C-alpha cells in the first residue's frame, strides 16, 4: 500500500484515519469497526464492500494501537 495514498484516505463514513492491515490486505477503521478490502492494489472504499470486525479482531486492533502509542490495553 502506497504510504502517500494511506495518508490521504479516510473512512467514507466517519472520516477518521485508516490503518493498513498488511496481513489481510485491508484498510481498518477502528471507529466504525469496519475493514475495507484492497483488490488488485485498489482500496474499495464502499460501505457495502466493508466487513465488520469481530469482537476478537477489535481487541487485537486495540492492542496494536496501544503498542504503537506505548499505552496499555485493559483486559
- Establish if 75 belongs to a structural domain: no
Residues 6+ apart with CB under 8 A from 12: 45, 46, 47
Place of cell 485493559: 74
Residue 29 · residue 13 · CB < 8 Å:
yes
pTM: 0.74
**Average pLDDT score over the chain:** 83
- Establish if 74 belongs to a structural domain: no
Task: State the average pLDDT over residues 33-59.
Answer: 91
pLDDT at residue number 72: 47
- Does the structure show a pLDDT above 80 at 23? yes
pLDDT at residue number 62: 53
In CATH, what number is assigned to the domain containing residue 21? 2.20.25.10
- Does the structure show a pLDDT above 80 at 73? no
Number of domains forming the structure of the chain? 1
Residues 6+ apart with CB under 8 A from 71: 65
Write out the E strands in 1-75.
Answer: 19-21, 26-29, 34-39, 42-43, 51-52
Amino acid at each position: 500500500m502506497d504510504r502517500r495514498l494511506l495518508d490521504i484516505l479516510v473512512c467514507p463514513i466517519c472520516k477518521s484515519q485508516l490503518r493498513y492491515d498488511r496481513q489481510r490486505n485491508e484498510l481498518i477503521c477502528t471507529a466504525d469497526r469496519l475493514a475495507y478490502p484492497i483488490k488488485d492494489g485498489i482500496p474499495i472504499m464502499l460501505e457495502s464492500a466493508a466487513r465488520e470486525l469481530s469482537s476478537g479482531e477489535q481487541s487485537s486492533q486495540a492492542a496494536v494501537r496501544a503498542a504503537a502509542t506505548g499505552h496499555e490495553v485493559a483486559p
